[in-house]
Amino acid sequence: MTWDYAEAPPFGGTSGNWLGGIEWAAKALDALPLTGFGKVVQADAAIQSVSEAKLVSTDPPYYDNIGYADLSDFFYVWLRRSLKLVFPDLFATLAVPKAEELVATQYRHGGKEKAETFFLEGMTQAMHRLAEQAHPAFPVTIYYAFKQSESDSKAGTSNTGWETFLDAVIRAGFGISGTWPMRTERGARSIGIGTNALASSIVLVCRRRSPDAPISSRREFISKLRAELPGALKNLQRGNIAPVDLAQAAIGPGMAIFTQYDKVLDAEGKLLSVRDALALINQTLDETIAEQEGDFDAESRWALAWFEQYGFAEGEFGVAETLSKAKDTSIAGMVISGILSSGKGKVRLLTPKELDPRWDPQTDTRLSTWEMVHQLIRILESGGESAAAETVRNLGTDAETARELCYRLYTLCERKKRAQEALSYNALVQSWPEIERMAREPHAQKTTTGELFGEEEP
């Protein structure tokens, strides 16, 4: 939020204005397949009873991400002065009401545990009302743009916000059919500039869980995850899900399996928690992405293993040589191929900016997936999507393998906290649809002056 100005400039400005806002709203209304009249009602989600058989699509509060009511006070005090006589009920209080706001605000509820309990109970009740009132023929869709990875523990990567929200959804009687990543977040918003902020909102697709849902063991749940999650992951990658959103989107297929059951029990007969289920989904996701390494050539597999340990920093030649034998390649060969520097007992992967700008994939006799990815990053960052499209056109079917490697590299960077490299891999995947589109366009024919006048080139 920019505190200097509450609104965009009224009559102009590069980022928008009042007239532009009205035009955007009008275009959206014209495109909506709706007839009749709209009705707006303000009500508490946990106890509302507006109508039966509703088609529900909602964007609930994100646990403790944003203090909506506190931020609203900044505008409320001014709106109240001008609109109190027009909407006396809405502006009856001196400040925005906050006691029932469904967010996990610690200072409001006396600590973290009490705030979490308040959120879980309130969200469960709200979701239960939605489950009761939703139209049985249609799924309930819930937008939730909340980053999953927050903390690492012995139980794996976890996020209290996600766990608590998913727990509330499941307790309310919903099963999760899947997740749809939707490109709803503007790259130019302040939180998204130069960060690994989510590029999409994740839409949970929910239906009432069957009353006849069976009970499963932890072993059976893991077996089903390993059988079904790889196919779902392939579909997400084909849909060009951004690497930054992949772990988030994979929750859908994983939780769809988890919520097929009424209960999942561990070896001791104890209930498997949502936290444990998410940890197993993340673990299976990592295993699936790691298994995709089998599609890569020997040099790329060596570079992946080296990159995981050292990134683009130097390492000992002896360690590199031992690893090269295990991966069935050689240090000297990778130096010749142009992805590695070696000297004085040290070895280092070359960064994209250090790669040979004269590189031509059609004449490269030692073409590796690793080289393709980092040359494409260099070309995209220096020459834009049109230059990258020319390279993809020359790579042909090999280009798709390069995109798969980006997902693996992004996962490594996210785990190792290498933000700058992660941004590069994420950017290449996000640009991929446009790069592919431009690569499919007819090749521009170059016409020389001699050809124009029917003369042969000397």
Q: Would residue 12 count as lying in a domain?
A: no
pLDDT band at 99 (very low <50, low <70, confident <90, very high): confident
pLDDT higher than threshold 80 for residue 74: yes
Q: In what order do the strands lie in the sheet with 140-143?
A: 57-58, 140-143, 201-208, 174-182
Minimal CA–CA distance to 378: which of 415, 350, 419, 341? 350
Q: Would residue 28 count as lying in a domain?
A: no
Q: Which of 245, 266, 291 is the last residue of a domain?
A: 291
pLDDT band at 352 (very low <50, low <70, confident <90, very high): very high
* Tokens encoding 275: 């936290």
Chain segment 393-429, per-residue pLDDT in tens: 988 888 888 888 888 898 889 888 888 899 999 999 8
Q: Would you state the pLDDT for residue 348?
A: 93
Q: Would residue 229 count as lying in a domain?
A: yes
- The answer to whether residues 287 and 148 belong to one domain is yes
DSSP-derived secondary structure letter, 340: E
Q: Would residue 23 count as lying in a domain?
A: no
- The answer to whether residues 262 and 372 belong to one domain is no
Q: Would you state the pLDDT for residue 379?
A: 94
**CA 450, CA 397: separation in Å to the nearest integer?**
35
- The answer to whether residues 419 and 327 belong to one domain is yes
- The answer to whether residues 270 and 361 belong to one domain is no
Least confident stretch, 21-35, 84-98, 152-166, 301-315: 152-166
* Tokens encoding 237: 């990658």
With pLDDT > 70 as the criterion, what percentage of the chain qualifies?
84
pLDDT higher than threshold 70 for residue 5: no
Q: Would you state the pLDDT for residue 188?
A: 43
Host domain of residue 418: 296-440
Q: Which of 262, 291, 320 is the last residue of a domain?
A: 291
Mean pLDDT, residues 53-80:
84
User: If you average pLDDT over every residue of the chain, what do you get?
Assistant: 81
- The answer to whether residues 189 and 322 belong to one domain is no
pLDDT band at 14 (very low <50, low <70, confident <90, very high): low
**CA 411, CA 140: separation in Å to the nearest integer?**
31
* Tokens encoding 323: 């690893």
Q: Per the structure, how many domains does the chain have? A: 2
pLDDT higher than threshold 80 for residue 181: no
- Pairing mode, if any, of strands 263-265 and 340-343? unpaired
- The answer to whether residues 247 and 300 belong to one domain is no
Residue carrying structure tokens 């521009």: 444
Least confident stretch, 294-298, 337-341, 355-359: 294-298
- The answer to whether residues 254 and 197 belong to one domain is yes
- The answer to whether residues 239 and 310 belong to one domain is no
- The answer to whether residues 253 and 324 belong to one domain is no
- The answer to whether residues 146 and 281 belong to one domain is yes
pLDDT band at 18 (very low <50, low <70, confident <90, very high): confident
pLDDT higher than threshold 50 for residue 450: no
